[in-house]
Chain A
């Protein structure tokens, strides 16, 4: 294992991120958004990097969490911790359903199914506008309060999200280090063999989906409270695409790569969209470049830099030159 992949180092980097973001960013909203997407992207990575499932449907769970928070907070004044827990449970339930149906097909069919399901849930939200607010979304989602104090200022809500982020990240690190996580890797590497040993591989995949869906919906709920709206766009195809793009750009070989992916994308989007409304054109080119030149993502780049600067001995993948 690469030294940077050690669980303690991964978690340490996450803590560092939480501490460093306020020093560099003036916008508390942007910093909070980065943390929310960081956990959502890490959940996508649990599927892509650890289980080998490329899900084009993560926006479903994000949107479900967003609407759950929107409905509970604007109509029924449910306490926020309950809303977050409820979103996660609902996200897990829907992810179980979507996962159960999607893994009936493999490879590219699986990917196409997850994309089609993301359309299904989008049109559901669009059609049942009495519940979801349709195109307008649900307006006036309040921020949480803690011990009587409202967390309305961006940076105080940042702190709230940061605690959630670190807890979720720690859980995901533990999941990937557990026997369960190792089994997921075995399924990714060779599903036939994992099944032959006696692992119920389909059950494991569905469980991975459930965990991923729970975390994603949790993030969706936090996002609704951040922007004060539960918008239709959170359940759109575009959100699913966004989460997947962040995951691949960050690199799917480590959970912290996902934090890098989310941060890189959102900072780039923030900088470019202010300059040029058609910046997605540049993003398209970045995606092509990542596929051609940076297949292990930003995390791969970090690993290579670390090896070049800090490790004197030749890395084991490259044999020493013979004379």
Chain B
């Protein structure tokens, strides 16, 4: 029973990792740009949700607001700063986004203090689900359902719509897209905002589960990297499989070996890389 509980927890956690990794992946796919500030956008999403609920907004209003604010800030950063550095070697992409992550993290500490806080589960989902002798928090069940719907929507958006086709076309050949009359600069800005918004949303959803603290961004960034390394960058299915795998491993290990749960994520990754250098699905 405890394992079923932990596997459900792991699926919830894994879906959040999936959101993070897809955001990272979409940005990389189009802009050939590793966003080291991705964890900072997750952090910002969580803190904005914390702040808005403290101000009396319902979680149902705070979550989309936080997501949109993060997306807006990210788009503004792209339009003002990042597009100037695309042509530089990737050392400088990393330097700039590491710098941005520091700025965001310090601003968060200035605005909300270094101690962190907790976000209550939203109204309507504060109870538990009881099935026989199995008891599970409603909010966690909601995140699984909600992120599953979101994952479906994302898949449809990226693979089934004209918008997705434009994004994929842009990652294949930006110059051809420009020749076809698309404003690639504006597409870049929108996609960066979109990808960062997904990180912000993951942060907003995670806030009621794990609370907020100023250094949650670093951990999120490295987990997103693990997911992307074993699942393959730019692979939707890879991100989903790897995200769930990492989430479930982490949760189940919390029962088996609590101190080593997070260590196991990275050991697992090392094992995958040692045996399958190209990652689980063998792409990229």
Contact = CB atoms under 8 A, between A and B. Distances in A.
A291 B28 contact: no
A272 to B, nearest CB: 12
Interface string B256-275: 00011011001101100110
Contact of A117 (B85, B219, B266): B266
Contacts of A295: 88, 92
B99 A124 contact: no
B218 interface: yes
A113 B90 contact: no
Interface in A101-117: 101, 104-105, 107-109, 111-113, 115-117
Contacts of A214: none
B161 interface: no
B106 A278 contact: yes
A126 to B, nearest CB: 8
B261 to A, nearest CB: 9
Contacts of B91: 48, 54, 248, 252
A104 B99 contact: no
B28 A108 contact: yes
Nearest to A121: B266
Nearest to B92: A291
B233 interface: yes
Contacts, number: 114
Interface residues of A, number: 39
A272 B21 CA distance: 35
B229 A105 contact: yes
B257 to A, nearest CB: 9
Contact of B222 (A48, A237, A286): A237
A48 B107 CA distance: 30
B284 A109 contact: yes
Contact of A288 (B81, B106, B263): B81
Interface in B95-148: 95-96, 98-103, 105-107, 109-110
B229 A292 contact: no
A280 B102 contact: yes
B103 A285 contact: yes
A127 interface: yes
A109 B95 CA distance: 16
B55 interface: no
B105 A287 contact: no
A290 interface: yes
Nearest to B273: A101
A241 interface: yes
A113 B99 contact: no
Contacts of B46: none
A123 interface: yes
A26 B222 CA distance: 39
A148 interface: no
B103 A281 contact: yes
10 contacts: A101-B273, A105-B273, A108-B28, A108-B34, A109-B233, A241-B98, A281-B102, A285-B103, A288-B81, A295-B92
Q: Sort A-B residue pairs by CB-CB distance and give the 9 closest, nearest first.
A: A287-B99, A120-B266, A284-B102, A284-B103, A281-B106, A104-B277, A123-B263, A112-B225, A291-B92
Interface of B: 28, 34, 81, 84-85, 88, 90-92, 94-96, 98-103, 105-107, 109-110, 218-219, 221-222, 225-226, 228-229, 233, 259-260, 262-263, 266-267, 269-270, 273-274, 277, 284
Given A116-B226, A295-B88, 19 more contacts: A54-B91, A108-B34, A112-B229, A115-B222, A116-B225, A116-B269, A117-B266, A119-B262, A123-B260, A124-B263, A281-B103, A281-B106, A283-B102, A284-B98, A284-B103, A284-B106, A288-B81, A291-B85, A292-B84
